Amino acid sequence: GSARVAVIGGGFGGAACARALRRLDSRLQVTLIVPGPTFVACPFSNEVIAGLRQLSEQTFTYDRIAADGVTVVAQAAVKVDAQARTIRLADGRTLAYDRLVLAPGIEIRFDALPGYDEPASAKMPHAWTAGEQTVVLRRQIEAMDDGGVVAIVVPAAPLRCPPAPYERASLIAHYLKARKPRSKILILDAKDSYSQQKLFERAWQELYPGMIERIALSQGGRVTSVNPATNEIVTDFGNYTAQVANVIPPQRAGRIAEIVGAADHTGWCPIDPVTFASKIAPNIHVIGDAAIAGGIPKSASAASAQGKACAAAIVNAFTGKPADMPRLNGACYNTVAPSYAFSLKGIYQPKEDQYAEVEATTSPVDASREVRQREAEQALDWFKAITVDTFG
Ligand code: FAD
């Protein structure tokens, strides 16, 4: 019969891959395994936290993907036998495959920051996966009194969407400036520098003077423990109590990657950059945030590009053709106010067994408000295009 490809995880990487597989070879039996009937997208979820958007605008179904001929199974994968090539689902069913693509995204590490376990996330939301966590953080910010402090705890690299904590600080500042102008935002950062830092700092001076304070790693910004009962945050150099504590802990590849045996000691999945084949688990490919992809920042646009390139590599392998050399586009927009955004666009290619950035374009630090306004419009266009491409 025709070859069977199973994809675990229906986010930006997995959904793009499943669709591309069917488009490249309509004889393939493609199964997309997802935990539930809908997907909630992280890009633009910072706007939901700031009260600029509804969570419903972030929510997508798999109906169009199923209409493309992909078999969508709404049951989480709980186990994989890589030798037998079978997947066990949460409802006890078993599925057989010839090739497996893992696209499980990230898992929050509840063992990495003392005091921050899963129950703590209900009190100190991370909102680093979208859905209920996004709503919890939004409600806390809405309920906070004027004059309160919102703390954002940022982990060391690697993390999903490296500039998103600073975009979040900006959009929360946008809300507070209008509604609770005596409030402050405190960023406790386990890094010294970050992506597009100059652009963020310039925007904060222009739009939110005196509202956002950032304590970097070398100033004692690394958080060593938290106490959800008191909202206390402890760093190397001091103690802080925030009215709202948005604690973004360290992350690793989604748990199924470890269960399969595709994650290494770092918690992430080493891959061959040309084919996305796992370096440690046979007949398994890994794409998106879960994969170790060198210079490619963990983003929705990168996950989608990887999903398509991986689909092409799998189809080539089935037909005995050599793999194409991937050339991946990534675009990352940061919106700091509804009419003010900037971007980083990159092209990535395999080099010496890892992805390297071969081209990059960043918005200029000195640009007119018209340019920032246009980029804010382009950011929305980008979201519309990628969600239509993935789910529409
Ligand atoms: P995901 O999109 O997370 O999809 C993984 C899916 O797999 C999930 O639905 C998960 O539930 C499912 N899954 C996991 N395990 C299993 C299992 N065992 N069985 C079945 N299903 C499973 N990126 C951008 O490009 N632009 C942005 O502006 C942007 N903004 C962001 C803002 C925030 C606040 C955050 C947190 C992230 C942002 N990102 C942005 C990053 C982007 O969301 C991720 O990089 C992207 O979603 C990664 O895609 P993925 O397919 O690897 O994982």
CA-wise closest residue to 123 among 248, 244, 250, 251: 244
* Contact between 123 and 231 (Cβ < 8 Å): yes
- Position 202 scores a pLDDT of 97
Gap from CA of 11 to ligand 1 centroid (Å): 6
CA dist 120 → 56, 160, 239, 391 (Å):
26, 20, 18, 33
* Ligand 1 proximal residues by C-beta, below 6 Å: 8-14, 33-35, 39, 42-43, 45-46, 76-77, 103-105, 128, 160-161, 164, 254, 256, 288-290, 298-301, 303, 332-333
Pocket probe for ligand 1: among 299, 308, 335, 336, the residue whose CB has the most ligand atoms within 8 Å is: 299
- Position 364 scores a pLDDT of 95
Gap from CA of 7 to ligand 1 centroid (Å): 14
Pocket probe for ligand 1: among 12, 52, 71, the residue whose CB has the most ligand atoms within 8 Å is: 12
Backbone angles phi, psi at 245, to 5 degrees: -115, 105
- Position 158 scores a pLDDT of 96
CA dist 378 → 241, 264, 268, 292 (Å):
38, 38, 32, 29
Gap from CA of 105 to ligand 1 centroid (Å): 5
Instruction: Pick out the chain residues at pLDDT < 70.
Output: 1
- Position 4 scores a pLDDT of 98
- Position 226 scores a pLDDT of 98
How does DSSP classify residue 277? B
- Position 132 scores a pLDDT of 98
- Position 211 scores a pLDDT of 98
Gap from CA of 326 to ligand 1 centroid (Å): 21
Backbone angles phi, psi at 130, to 5 degrees: -90, 150
Rg (Cα) of the chain, in Å, rounded?
A: 21
Gap from CA of 28 to ligand 1 centroid (Å): 25
- Position 191 scores a pLDDT of 97
Gap from CA of 255 to ligand 1 centroid (Å): 14
Structure tokens of 12?
A: 């930006």
CA dist 360 → 296, 297, 356 (Å):
11, 12, 11
Structure tokens of 336?
A: 């700091």
Neighbours of 143 (CB within 10 A): 10
Dist. CA 159–CA 157, nearest whole Å: 5
Dist. CA 255–CA 130, nearest whole Å: 17
pLDDT per position as a tens digit, 9-40? 999 999 999 999 999 999 999 999 999 999 99
Instruction: Show Cβ contacts of residue 46 under 8 Å, excluding neighbours closer than 6 positions.
Output: 164, 167, 168, 171, 335
- Position 156 scores a pLDDT of 97
Interface pTM, i.e. ipTM? 0.99
- Position 179 scores a pLDDT of 98
Atom of ligand 1 nearest to the CA of 13: 51
Pocket probe for ligand 1: among 8, 32, 40, 42, the residue whose CB has the most ligand atoms within 8 Å is: 42
CA dist 124 → 9, 160, 198 (Å):
26, 18, 29
- Position 39 scores a pLDDT of 98
Atom of ligand 1 nearest to the CA of 290: 52
**What does pTM read for this prediction?**
0.98
Atom of ligand 1 nearest to the CA of 9: 7
